[in-house]
Structure 1
Amino acid sequence: MKGTNFSTPAGFILLGFSDQPRLEMVLLLVVSVTYTLTLTGNTVIILASYLCPKLHTPMYFFLSNLSFLDLCFTTSIVPQMLWNLRGPAKTISYAGCVLQLYVALGLGSTECVLLAVMAYDRFSAICRPLHYDVIMHPKLLQQLAALAWISGFMEATVQTILVFQLSLCSHHRVDDFMCEVPALIKSACVNTSFLENELAVASVLYVVVPLGLILVSYGWIVRSVLRIKSAQGRRKACGTCGSHLLVVVLFFGSIISVYIQPKSKYTQNHSKFLTLFYTVVTPALNPLIYTLRNKEVKWALRGLLRRVPR
């Protein structure tokens, strides 16, 4: 698809919110604070899951994977974003754009699969409690985590190669604050129907299918919870799923709005804020959701604080 009249650009201009300088100053402060919370919260969860024997369970194995993923995901985007927000220069090198797109796509796709895997873990815990330890054995945990990471970066490899085979317009302006597939497609000067169709297929495989599996899992979970006679038992079952379900709603809700919702003036004007939400806000909220709603994590964190020398 690469045309002979187009050379590889030296870099790109990330327009972001450059037409609203006051908003950029507000975002600089908000994103800085949010990024700090993301680094702190996810690091604490990883340390708690590793150091506290009580948290050496399948649920926290996957949660520590999610926290590590969120750390990498935001770090691949936010430092460049902060640099662009703080001044008039809003450029990113060609290699930097390729790397950012590849890493962000890989980690985003991995998270979609990982959240589905975590739903299967909750399904096994509630619907098959007597066989849970047999089903979720250490080897299977490693295989499921590997499946999420490998499949995510396989998809990112295909998408990145196809996107950067496009002949891009000479201005090399990307109407977003990061290198993302929809924005890069819009900057192309050739027919992008094939890539748009391929992106639609990828969205089905990595968004619709995992979300469908999550919904099916929760359908069985709800059915099992309704069979529990004691109110305390139902509350305990719901407590183990509430945090994960809230994370699913926040992440998939924003992803669907950016990648799957039909094009319109509304989505074009608001896609940057939706992208900002799932790349910056959601990774910061995930640790808070799990710590505020989970007694085991709170107990582990208190134990870690007691170990800190004063």
Structure 2
Amino acid sequence: MKRRKIILIVISLLLCYGVYSFISKIEKDKWVNEPPAIKYSEKRENKVWGGTLRGFNPALFYGKPLYDLAKAMSGWSCLRNDKKIEKLINEFPEEYINFQEGKFGKTIGHFALTTNNMLAIRKLLDRGLNPNIMDRYGDAIIIDINSYPYCKSPESLEILKYMIKKGANVNLYSKRAYTTPLIEASKYGRLVNVKLLVEADANPNFIDDSADFGPYRSPFRSALSAALSYHQIEVVNYLIFDQKVDFRTLKFSEDSKFHPGEYQILYDLREMFFKVNSKRYQEKMKLVAYLKTQGLDYWKTPIEERFRSNPNYTPEYLSKY
């Protein structure tokens, strides 16, 4: 009797799940054909999907031949079936390779990068994926692969090389995100990416003069300014010494509330705190010595009070940093 009762409970649960799945599918199929203003509203997404759709949610491709592929690429990387993913990539219709979903404008290539699936990106490139396509936020694969968290893996470097081989635009400029592949690589201190991009004809002297907001100016408007702002001294020195990028192009505007009309580099260097005699410290001192020959005395640049009053920085250290 007890065993029969358990079986009946299990059957009831399965029936309930089946009914729920059937109703859920009807609701999702209805959702596919709704106008964007309705289907992408928070209320509607919560009702159909149980939450707001994000850039890593395969539901963005529901109703398209890409949905199964997006699902296969989602979740923990250790649980992915690479053979299944490759099979799905080879099978979906060619016209969907650069299809952009309706909410964020992401291609399946954007989605593969979001899920950190470098193998899938390579296979998609072989099928004709365009890495220069931007989504609605100005993100493109050729730009984003140089940024955190992707840029640190050896696999991403190989994919970057492959993208370039496939004709990716190393000088692609995103007006919405105010960035280029080289700016992203410089920002995150990925010197190997920076060198690779420059060797592929990325322009190290590019400056985004549109990234001005009244008296304020984006600190990431060039590869050099991005490297300085993020304290990537190795990249800074590569750009200045190897690529002859002129630091004089970076000045605070005359109406800036911070050091009006002065060179940005001296104040950025004052923000760089490295252990004395470390490799990065030596790189910094190399640049300091060079600037002195160009008429800029780093040692006369004032140390801000917030650093002087910080107990972590002793007077002895401040005299050397």
Normalising by structure 2, report the TM-score: 0.21
Structure number with bigger Rg: 2
TM-score under structure 1 normalisation? 0.22
Higher RCO (CA 8 Å, separation ≥ 6 residues): 1
